[in-house]
């Protein structure tokens, strides 16, 4: 916003908008980091390892969401984790909660996984590839999207009894 105001005056001064980066260690607790960012009036920090190698960035919103739960704003896209298709099958996000998934399909399976993708990897012993098909707990599952690191989306239908 400051840049816009300056540019409307005809002389934008980018250097006046620069702020010194905040570097924090990877092991810093969320509440400590929140106070640090508030004191420095910053909205993000660069997270570094013990050799000052960059691990990533963390924003004020990331910290608040860890402390109080998901924060929705107008720029967030609403994506349903499990959507029923006209043919009765379901499109399921790999990050969907495994308990909700089991409840939807009436499954009782013991797993340590928290997500549908995690359950698939745990059960299969590997990350399935895009296009792979299999039957688990009476469900026909097709992997719609997998990048080799995680399962992003699957298609699920109840297996018909023969």
Cα–Cα distance measured from residue 42 to residue 53, given in angstroms and rounded to the nearest whole number? 21
**Class of the 2-68 domain?**
alpha beta
**Class of the 82-158 domain?**
alpha beta
Cα–Cα distance measured from residue 61 to residue 102, given in angstroms and rounded to the nearest whole number? 31
pLDDT in tens, the chain (162 residues): 565 666 667 666 677 778 889 999 999 998 999 999 999 999 999 999 988 899 999 999 888 888 887 776 666 666 688 999 999 999 999 999 999 999 999 988 888 889 999 999 999 999 999 999 999 988 999 999 998 888 999 999 987 655
> How do the domains of the chain map onto residue ranges?
2-68, 82-158
Q: Given this model, what pLDDT does residue 1 score?
A: 58
Q: Are 93 and 79 in contact (CB under 8 A)?
A: yes
Residues sharing a CB contact under 8 Å with residue 52, sequence separation 6 or more, in sequence order: 23
């Amino acid at each position: 916003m400051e840049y816009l105001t300056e540019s409307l005056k005809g002389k934008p001064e980018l250097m006046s908008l620069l702020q010194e980066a905040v570097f924090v260690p990877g092991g810093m607790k969320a509440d400590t980091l929140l106070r640090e960012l508030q004191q420095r009036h910053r909205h993000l920090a660069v997270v570094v390892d013990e050799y000052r190698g960059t691990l990533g960035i963390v924003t004020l919103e990331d910290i608040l969401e860890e402390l109080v739960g998901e924060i929705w704003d107008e720029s967030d896209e609403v994506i349903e984790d499990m959507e029923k298709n006209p043919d009765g099958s379901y499109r399921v996000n790999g990050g969907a909660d495994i308990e909700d998934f089991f409840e939807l399909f009436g499954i009782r399976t013991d797993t340590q996984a928290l997500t549908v993708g995690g359950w698939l990897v745990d059960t299969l012993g590997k990350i399935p590839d895009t296009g792979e098909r299999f039957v688990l707990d009476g469900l026909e599952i097709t992997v719609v999207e997998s990048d080799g690191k995680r399962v992003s989306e699957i298609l699920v239908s109840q297996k018909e009894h023969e």
